[in-house]
Chain A
Amino acid sequence: MADGILFEERGIPAAAVITDAFRRTADAMARAQGLEGYPYVAIPHPISSLSPEELRVRAEQALPEVVRLLQEVEG
């Protein structure tokens, strides 16, 4: 989250991806960086025990939302 926000501040489009177990921390980080409500993509938890194939499915599922966030213009 912090990295995504710092990228955005420098004009580089970013899309933060978290697993849904980390929503609370992600929201807290957005507040700490002064960007409450900063949008992110939350994918189902867990991922560390997934096979590479299962992980690929997760990535494909998240992709449209990632693209949408990258294209979103703040306004």
Chain B
Amino acid sequence: MSRGVTAEPTLEAVREAREVIEYCYGRGWTDGLPVVPPGEEFVEEFLSQVARDPEEVVFAQEHLGRKCTVRLAAAAAVMAGCRPEYFPVVLAMLEAVRDLPVSRGLFQSTTGQAVLVVINGPIRQELGFNCTDNVFSPGDRANATVGRALRLVVLNALGIRPHAFDQSTQGTPAKFSFCIAENEEESPWEPLHVERGFGREESTVTVAWARGTMPVEQRDSKQPEHILLSIADSMSYGGAYFPSPRGHGSIVVMGPEHAQMIAEAGWSKQQVREFLWEHFGRRAGELRRLGKEGGLEAQLPDEAFVRFAPAPEAITLVVAGARNAGVSTVCPTFAWQTVTRRIPGRRV
């Protein structure tokens, strides 16, 4: 196993590598960026990280006649640029995605949803997942490659590609890779996985459908209501709304500065969620002004507040980013149920 940079490769080796990269392009295996060639030896190295039958089906799309086995998942992880020890995370992520609601249809949806992946627990430090500054940005291998492995599974194993089965009207760059970790150390509240009944010393992966990221600025005030209303207002932009039978939800990735100000004023995580839920929506008259009449009852007065989410649980709250400015992010979605799975320990 290669670890870090070793001897400088020969020019011949570089030329060969380039040819193999082009070969992978030629086979239609990439997301548009180069992939690491999934040589059998590399795939085996990844498989050795988990105690699983390589032919076991992890995730199927029956209507397309496609399935992702443990082996194909390992190949995707190799291609994405993962290190072998990331593979248990990739596998747990794929199993969590399989259990998401509408995991059969939403990968093909015109809405172009990505899957946000959130890592919790000690594995963040063990494998180097970024949870601080630039948490959504390129630059950290674990985040970038684990998120990318999901997309390569969707493209190759499940066969859901652009210009055919992926019908996204526009899609989102979040489909390349969309993996963050929670900044548990600077969060004033219990981490996401503890909230969901896991131990603080366990490591988990949480997945959620999300249409992208929208930044929320609020550096002028430290009043919890001001911060939370700024966040709720950003969750409630007119373009987010359509009369979805399941309602809308939001993944709120709160910057540590916002979270700490709110917590210092005595707010619990549940109180935050309830407040956001109460203010997540628009007045009927505003929706009518946008021509979004669908789903609104004709008798509903213009002043009536139309809540976008069915319950506070439709809002997932995560703390991530640097404690250097009053910035948070909201990720809109309409399929708001999320799934958290434990990442098994290293195979002994």
Contacts and interface: CB of A to CB of B under 8 A. Distances in A.
Interface residues on A, range: under 10
Nearest to A27: B164
B164 A24 contact: yes
* Residue of A2, A24, A32 contacting most chain B CB atoms (<10 Å): A32
A32 B65 CA distance: 7
Interface in A13-39: 22, 24-25, 28-29, 32-33
B165 interface: yes
A25 B165 contact: yes
Interface residues on B, range: under 10
A32 B167 contact: no
A24 B64 contact: no
A24 B163 contact: yes
A25 B65 contact: no
Nearest to A48: B294
Contact of A25 (B63, B159, B164): B164
B167 A2 contact: no
Contacts of A33: 65
Nearest to B166: A25
A24 B164 CA distance: 6
Contacts of A32: 64-65, 159, 165
Contacts, number: 18
Contacts of B163: 24
Contacts of B164: 24-25, 28
A25 B64 contact: no
A42 to B, nearest CB: 15
Contacts of B63: 2
B165 A29 contact: yes
Contacts of A28: 164-165
B61 to A, nearest CB: 10
Interface in B285-323: none
A29 B163 CA distance: 12
Contacts of B108: 25
Contacts of A29: 64, 165
Interface in B160-211: 163-165, 167
A22 B65 contact: no
A43 to B, nearest CB: 17
B165 A22 contact: no
Interface in A46-67: none
A22 B159 contact: no
Interface string B63-76: 11100000000000
Nearest to B159: A32
A2 B64 CA distance: 8
Interface in B130-180: 159, 163-165, 167
B52 to A, nearest CB: 27
A27 B68 CA distance: 23
Contacts of B64: 2, 29, 32
Contacts of B65: 32-33
Nearest to A34: B65
A20 B86 CA distance: 43
Nearest to B161: A28
A29 B108 CA distance: 12
Nearest to A3: B63
Nearest to B167: A25
16 contacts: A2-B63, A2-B64, A22-B167, A24-B163, A24-B164, A25-B164, A25-B165, A25-B167, A28-B164, A29-B64, A29-B165, A32-B64, A32-B65, A32-B159, A32-B165, A33-B65
What 3 pairs across the A-B complex have the smallest Cβ distances? A28-B164, A2-B63, A32-B64
Given A32-B65, A32-B159, 4 more contacts: A2-B64, A22-B167, A32-B64, A32-B165
